[in-house]
Protein backbone atom coordinates (compact mmCIF):
# COMPACT_ATOMS: atom_id res chain seq x y z
CA UNK A 1 0.00 0.00 0.00
CA UNK A 2 1.50 3.34 -1.06
CA UNK A 3 1.25 6.48 1.01
CA UNK A 4 0.36 9.72 -0.68
CA UNK A 5 2.81 12.58 -0.35
CA UNK A 6 6.00 12.79 1.59
CA UNK A 7 6.23 11.13 4.99
CA UNK A 8 7.41 13.62 7.62
CA UNK A 9 10.49 12.81 9.62
CA UNK A 10 10.35 12.83 13.39
CA UNK A 11 12.27 16.13 13.34
CA UNK A 12 9.75 17.69 10.95
CA UNK A 13 6.91 16.52 13.17
CA UNK A 14 8.60 17.96 16.26
CA UNK A 15 9.20 21.28 14.50
CA UNK A 16 5.42 21.67 14.13
CA UNK A 17 5.25 22.14 17.91
CA UNK A 18 5.84 25.88 18.55
CA UNK A 19 7.53 25.18 21.90
CA UNK A 20 9.96 22.66 20.40
CA UNK A 21 10.62 24.96 17.44
CA UNK A 22 11.46 27.90 19.73
CA UNK A 23 13.81 25.78 21.88
CA UNK A 24 15.48 24.37 18.77
CA UNK A 25 16.07 27.80 17.25
CA UNK A 26 17.58 29.14 20.49
CA UNK A 27 19.78 26.10 21.13
CA UNK A 28 20.83 25.84 17.48
CA UNK A 29 22.42 29.29 17.60
CA UNK A 30 24.35 28.30 20.74
CA UNK A 31 25.41 25.06 19.06
CA UNK A 32 26.77 26.99 16.07
CA UNK A 33 28.97 29.12 18.36
CA UNK A 34 30.32 26.01 20.06
CA UNK A 35 31.07 24.37 16.70
CA UNK A 36 32.92 27.47 15.49
CA UNK A 37 35.04 27.58 18.64
CA UNK A 38 35.79 23.85 18.51
CA UNK A 39 36.72 24.04 14.81
CA UNK A 40 39.06 26.97 15.49
CA UNK A 41 40.60 25.10 18.43
CA UNK A 42 41.27 22.15 16.15
CA UNK A 43 42.68 24.34 13.36
CA UNK A 44 45.08 25.98 15.82
CA UNK A 45 46.05 22.56 17.17
CA UNK A 46 45.34 23.60 20.76
CA UNK A 47 44.11 21.40 23.57
CA UNK A 48 41.59 22.46 26.19
CA UNK A 49 44.49 22.68 28.63
CA UNK A 50 46.48 25.03 26.38
CA UNK A 51 43.44 27.24 25.76
CA UNK A 52 42.75 27.31 29.50
CA UNK A 53 46.32 28.42 30.19
CA UNK A 54 45.97 31.29 27.71
CA UNK A 55 42.66 32.29 29.32
CA UNK A 56 44.09 31.98 32.85
CA UNK A 57 41.43 29.45 33.80
CA UNK A 58 41.12 25.69 34.21
CA UNK A 59 40.71 22.90 31.69
CA UNK A 60 37.43 22.04 33.45
CA UNK A 61 36.02 25.50 32.71
CA UNK A 62 36.89 25.16 29.03
CA UNK A 63 35.34 21.70 28.93
CA UNK A 64 32.16 23.02 30.55
CA UNK A 65 31.95 25.92 28.10
CA UNK A 66 32.43 23.81 24.98
CA UNK A 67 30.08 20.92 25.64
CA UNK A 68 26.38 20.64 24.78
CA UNK A 69 25.08 24.14 25.35
CA UNK A 70 27.64 25.09 27.97
CA UNK A 71 28.61 28.20 26.07
CA UNK A 72 25.17 29.62 26.88
CA UNK A 73 26.32 30.13 30.48
CA UNK A 74 29.63 31.78 29.53
CA UNK A 75 29.89 35.54 29.80
CA UNK A 76 30.28 37.46 26.56
CA UNK A 77 33.73 38.65 27.66
CA UNK A 78 34.88 35.04 28.06
CA UNK A 79 33.58 34.13 24.59
CA UNK A 80 35.35 37.22 23.22
CA UNK A 81 38.66 36.21 24.82
CA UNK A 82 38.32 32.64 23.50
CA UNK A 83 37.65 33.99 20.02
CA UNK A 84 40.64 36.34 20.19
CA UNK A 85 42.99 33.54 21.24
CA UNK A 86 41.63 31.31 18.47
CA UNK A 87 42.07 33.98 15.81
CA UNK A 88 38.36 34.73 15.46
CA UNK A 89 36.42 37.98 15.60
CA UNK A 90 33.41 37.60 17.89
CA UNK A 91 30.78 40.07 16.75
CA UNK A 92 27.59 39.97 18.80
CA UNK A 93 24.82 41.07 16.48
CA UNK A 94 21.20 41.83 17.20
CA UNK A 95 18.77 41.91 14.31
CA UNK A 96 15.06 42.68 14.15
CA UNK A 97 13.23 39.35 14.29
CA UNK A 98 10.83 40.35 11.56
CA UNK A 99 13.74 40.91 9.17
CA UNK A 100 15.58 37.64 9.93
CA UNK A 101 14.14 35.64 7.00
CA UNK A 102 15.55 38.20 4.57
CA UNK A 103 18.81 38.98 6.39
CA UNK A 104 20.10 35.56 7.41
CA UNK A 105 20.54 34.13 3.90
CA UNK A 106 22.37 37.31 2.86
CA UNK A 107 24.65 37.17 5.91
CA UNK A 108 25.37 33.48 5.30
CA UNK A 109 26.32 34.26 1.69
CA UNK A 110 28.65 37.07 2.79
CA UNK A 111 30.33 34.86 5.39
CA UNK A 112 30.83 32.04 2.88
CA UNK A 113 32.69 34.35 0.50
The 3-class secondary structure across the chain, one letter per residue, is CCCCCCCCCHHHHHHCCHHHHHHHHHHHHHHHHHHHHHHHHHHHCCCHHHHHHHHCCCHHHHHHHCCCCHHHHCCHHHHHHHHHHCCCCCCCCCCCHHHHHHHHHHHHHHHHC
Q: Domains in the chain, start-ordered, CATH in brackets?
A: 10-90 (1.10.260)
Higher pLDDT, 46 or 19: 46
What percentage of the chain reaches a pLDDT higher than 70? 95
pLDDT digits (tens, 9 = 90+) for 74-108: 889 999 999 999 999 998 888 898 998 899 889 88
pLDDT digits (tens, 9 = 90+) for 36-45: 999 999 999 9
Question: Looking at the predicted structure, is the pLDDT value of residue 1 above 70?
Answer: no
Amino acid sequence: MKTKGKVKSLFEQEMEDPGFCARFEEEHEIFKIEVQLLAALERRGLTYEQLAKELHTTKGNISRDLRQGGISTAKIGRIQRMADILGLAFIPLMLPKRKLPALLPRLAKLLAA
